[in-house]
């Protein structure tokens, strides 16, 4: 399957494919009007994943705490304000998993976050110790088969 060169989304026009138009020369002009606020910047962020915590877990605790401060502290670090949480394994999980490994369990009676309690949740809690008001969003994530 060939991937489109351009995909755009907007109100009532989601996932529209298009083509790129090459430019030959020219310049772009950007005008900033500081008297108008069109968007409010609410911060940078990153992702929480098993591989990240696994890497941090092999260094001494003091260094791990320092690394977390360098990511999340508003005074000592990058002041990350957002964290993406994978729902199930991301491509940075130690191996593939879902939060319910029972085929056909449509009632989700076997749903469990036990796997996330090992690496993902400790990473999140470490960040919250440094930045208690960090914001999260979660997205279902599955690695490609393969």
Task: List, edge to edge, every strand of the sheet that includes 135-140.
Answer: 45-47, 82-87, 135-140
Q: Which two tokens stand for residue 107?
A: 């009632």
pLDDT band at 1 (very low <50, low <70, confident <90, very high): low
Question: What are the distances in angstroms from CA 97 to CA 8, 50, 85, 121, 144?
Answer: 31, 12, 15, 15, 12
Please compute the mean of the pLDDT values over residues 60-84 and round it to a whole number. 95
Q: What is the per-residue pLDDT for 142?
A: 60
Average pLDDT, the chain: 89
| Percent of the chain whose pLDDT exceeds 70 | 95
């Amino acid at each position: 399957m060939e991937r489109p060169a351009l995909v755009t989304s907007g109100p009532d026009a989601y996932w529209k494919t298009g083509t790129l138009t090459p430019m030959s020369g020219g310049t772009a002009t950007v005008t900033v009007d500081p008297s108008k606020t069109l968007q409010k910047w609410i911060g940078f962020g990153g992702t929480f994943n098993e591989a990240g915590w696994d890497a941090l877990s092999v260094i001494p605790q003091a260094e791990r705490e320092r690394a977390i401060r360098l990511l999340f502290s508003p005074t000592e670090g990058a002041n990350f304000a957002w964290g993406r949480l994978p729902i199930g394994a991301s491509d940075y999980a130690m191996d593939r998993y879902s939060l319910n490994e029972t085929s056909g369990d449509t009632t989700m009676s076997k749903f469990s976050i036990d796997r996330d309690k090992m690496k993902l949740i400790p990473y999140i809690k470490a960040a919250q110790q440094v930045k208690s008001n960090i914001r999260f969003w979660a997205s279902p994530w599955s690695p490609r088969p393969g």
